[in-house]
Copies of this chain bind each other. A is one copy, B any other.
Amino acid sequence: MKPTYTIGLDYGTNSVRALIVDVRTGREVGTAVWEYAHGTHGVILTRDPNLARQHPADYLTGAEVTIKQALRQAKVKPAQIIGIGVDTTGSTPLPVDAAGRPLAFDKRFAKNPAALAWLWKDHTGVAAATEITTLAKQLRPHYLAKCGGTYSSEWFFSKILHCLRVAPEIFAAAHTWVECADWIPAVLTGTDAPDLLTVGVCAAGHKAMYNDDWGGYPDAEFLGTLHPKLGELRSRLRPKAQTIDRAVGQLTTEWAKRTGLPVGIPVAVGAFDAHLGGVGCGIAPGTLAKIIGTSTCDMMVAPVGTKLADIPGLCGIVNGSILPGYYGLEAGQSAVGDIFNWFVNYIKAGSHAELTTGAAKLKPGESGLLALDWNNGNRTILVDQRLTGLLLGQTLYTTPAEIYRALIEATAFGALTIINRFEEYGVQVEQIVNCGGIAEKNPVVMQIYADVTGRPMKISRSAQTCALGAAIAGAVVAGAYPHYAAAQKAMTGVKAKVFKPDATAHAVYRELYALYRQLHDGFGTNSWNGNMYNVMKRLIEIRSQARN
């Protein structure tokens, strides 16, 4: 039998990647990346530090450029490509007109940032998120119970309601709003007209309070209480969301021409990068898949039918959002790689390589520094974007490498807080599989994560695990495997090198984590009570021990 291949299209914050994968083994035979043309590394910014947008034109150019280039590199015949899967960032909704065309393509709105795609990390909707949370607490507490108890400013309706308040002309011009994860498969298959659109349960369930138990999206009465026009929008949202074992349609002639792929191959229902990253990590009950990029997503699954508590601070517990037949549990950190990138690109105190080398030479506690990983707010467990970074312990001799290590450690403490939260609510973490550029390329970070958490860190063998997950979706919808478990067994795996925790380092980190948790609770909650007098003094003691 001739080998067959699928394509995973992976839309990140700064760039898009196409990956061509051998359906039998998961072997990656071709890949290409294209950095978005608009904005700063693909993100359109203004003076408002909460604002982060993207231009949807980049999504289309990116698909064409990367698929063609990956095909050339792979040296496979186009006819051997049997399916496509797509993952994207999210919640990244874009306003579209009655034909499904993004308003960003409308000349009238060429200079209006509200017409763009509202990138996941856009936090302009902070006030709207508070409004939604407050109202849901009063009227529809069950909506919140499945998304951690707080509706985030990063999510679908916060962004739309904020647009309605600050850019009503865009809201009025929009027939509806489409998640990037749904829009791209729709365009590729010509199903982007609003009444043809397929929405994935991943985006709808985790970011838009969609749940089949209450009839899909939040009801029109609830939305209408927030704003009458938001209530009216409800009827223009789709009635039923789908899982990734479904195809949204077949590749159009136009897109076959633009990419060189065969007409008519199936395109799977889209999902978020982290969810398909979980698939690419081989996610199954007991496995925590950590997708470490600019932010992290921490994904787990539990079979449908499991008695699951509502877990405060999680970004959602959604039937079928990762794997069909399983609840998908999503937690995450609002910034990880983004914090390291901030330090390198904005503070300009050295390259990642230099700083990593310097950080590797330090022992736990040796710098005397302690940081909070909140430069972009805290997703899990506080669900609060109105938080900021914190660094303490600086002397007159503190070096950039010491700060860089403290920032890495801060993200590890944040990761541990998430693991603890899963287990506190009965979801045991039996193994951890990491993926993403940082997991792949930075052994210093992975060793610190092992030492801080006291748990082995495994690394997905794919360097492009999210794209691999998307390619697996392409394989499933093409009928190459009967279900995801079979596809994952054949197409995923972990590297031989496992980062094991060092007991001595872990002992120091247990002490540092107690101090991190004190700062976390003191600055992040209003229920903590006490003073911080011990923090600097204990750090100095730990520093002295580490140096002797």
Residues of A in contact with B (beta carbons under 8 Å apart) = 45, 47-49, 335, 338-339, 341-342, 346-350, 368, 372, 374-376, 386-400, 403, 521-533, 535-537, 539-540, 547
A342 x B398 contact (CB < 8 A)? yes
Q: List 29 A-B contacts (CB under 8 A).
A: A339-B396, A342-B394, A342-B395, A342-B396, A346-B398, A347-B347, A347-B400, A347-B403, A348-B350, A348-B400, A368-B388, A372-B392, A374-B536, A375-B394, A376-B396, A386-B537, A388-B539, A389-B391, A389-B395, A390-B392, A391-B394, A521-B531, A522-B533, A523-B532, A523-B535, A524-B533, A528-B533, A529-B530, A530-B530
Nearest chain B residue, comparing its CB with the CB of A47:
B547
A543 vs B430: C-alpha distance in the bound complex, in angstroms? 43
Tell me which of A348, A395, A522, A537 has the highest count of chain B C-beta atoms within 10 A of its own C-beta. A395
The answer to whether residues A375 and B395 also contact, given A348-B400, A522-B531, A533-B525 and a CB cut-off of 8 A, is yes
Q: Kindly provide the distance from the CB of A256 to the nearest chain B CB, expressed in whole angstroms.
A: 39
Instruction: Output the nearest chain B residue to A392 by Cβ-Cβ distance.
Output: B390
Q: Which residue of B lies closest to A385 (CB)?
A: B540
- Shortest beta-carbon contacts, A-B, top 7: A389-B394, A390-B392, A526-B533, A528-B531, A523-B532, A388-B393, A342-B396
Complex contact A536–B387 (CB within 8 A): yes
Work out how many copies of this chain go into the complex.
2
Cβ–Cβ contact B393 & A391, under 8 A: no
Residues in B neighbouring A350, C-beta threshold 8 A: 348
B368/A395 in contact, CB under 8 A: no
Expressed in whole angstroms, the Cα–Cα distance for A521 and B531 within the complex equals 8
Q: Looking across the interface, which residue of chain B has its beta carbon closest to that of A403? A: B347
In the assembled complex, which residues on chain B have CB atoms less than 8 Å from the CB atom of A521?
A: 531
Residue with the greatest number of chain B CB neighbours at <10 A, chosen from A386, A396, A535: A396
- CB of A540 within 8 A of CB of B388, answer yes
A376 partner residues in chain B, CB cutoff 8 A: 395-396
Nearest to A407 among chain B residues (CB) is B394
Q: Chain B residues with Cβ under 8 A from A539's Cβ?
A: 388
- Nearest B residue (CB) for A126: B540
**A522-B532, A531-B522 given as contacts; is B547 within 8 A of A397 (CB)?**
no
Q: Which of B346, B386, B537 contacts A397 (CB 8 A)?
A: B346
Chain B, residue nearest A524 (CB): B533
> Closest Cβ of chain B: how far from A53's Cβ, in Å?
14
The reply to whether A348 and B346 contact each other, CB–CB distance below 8 Å, is no
Assembled-state Cα–Cα distance A335/B521 (Å): 30
A252 to chain B, nearest CB (A): 38
Contact A388 B396 (CB under 8 A): no
Interface pair B396/A540, CB less than 8 Å apart? no
Q: What residues of chain B lie closer than 8 Å to A530, measured between beta carbons? A: 529-531
Contact B346 A375 (CB under 8 A): no
The CA of A375 and the CA of B392, in the complex, are separated in Å by 9
For A339, list chain B residues within 8 Å (CB). Answer: 396
Query: Closest B-chain residue to A338, C-beta based?
Result: B396
Q: Which of B45, B386, B398, B526 is within 8 Å of A389, CB to CB?
A: B398
Q: Within the assembled complex, what's the spacing in Å between the Cα atoms of A503 and B376?
A: 33
How far, in whole Å, are A87 and B368 apart by their CA atoms in the complex? Answer: 35
Assess the A346–B399 pair: CB atoms within 8 A.
yes
Which residues of B have CB within 8 Å of A525? 531, 533
Question: Which one of A45, A341, A387, A394 has the greatest number of beta carbons of chain B within 10 Å?
Answer: A394
With A386-B540, A388-B368, A400-B347 in contact, is A395–B49 under 8 Å at CB?
yes
Residues of B within 8 A of A48 (CB): 547
Chain B residues contacting A338 (CB-CB under 8 Å) are: 396
| Beyond known contacts A390-B390, A528-B533: 9 more, CB 8 A cutoff | A48-B547, A49-B395, A346-B397, A389-B393, A389-B395, A389-B398, A391-B394, A525-B531, A529-B531
A170 to B388, CA, bound (A): 49
A387 and B532 CA atoms in complex are apart in Å by 11
Q: How far is A523 from B539 in the complex, measured between Cα atoms in Å?
A: 12
Q: Which of B388, B531, B540 contacts A527 (CB 8 A)?
A: B531
Q: How far, in angstroms, from A350 to B347 measured CA to CA in the complex?
A: 9
Cβ contacts under 8 Å, A524 to chain B: 533
Per the bound structure, the CA–CA distance linking A47 and B388 in Å amounts to: 32
Chain B residues with CB below 8 A from A527, complex form: 531
The answer to whether B388 and A536 touch across the interface, beta carbons within 8 angstroms, is yes
Given A347-B349, A523-B533, A394 contacting B400 (CB threshold 8 A): no
Which B residues lie within 8 Å of A374 (CB)?
536
> Contact at B388–A395, with CB atoms within 8 Å?
yes
B547/A523 in contact, CB under 8 A:
no
Chain B nearest Cβ from A21, distance in angstroms: 33
Q: Known: A526-B533, A535-B523, A536-B523. Contact between A388 and B392, CB under 8 A?
A: yes
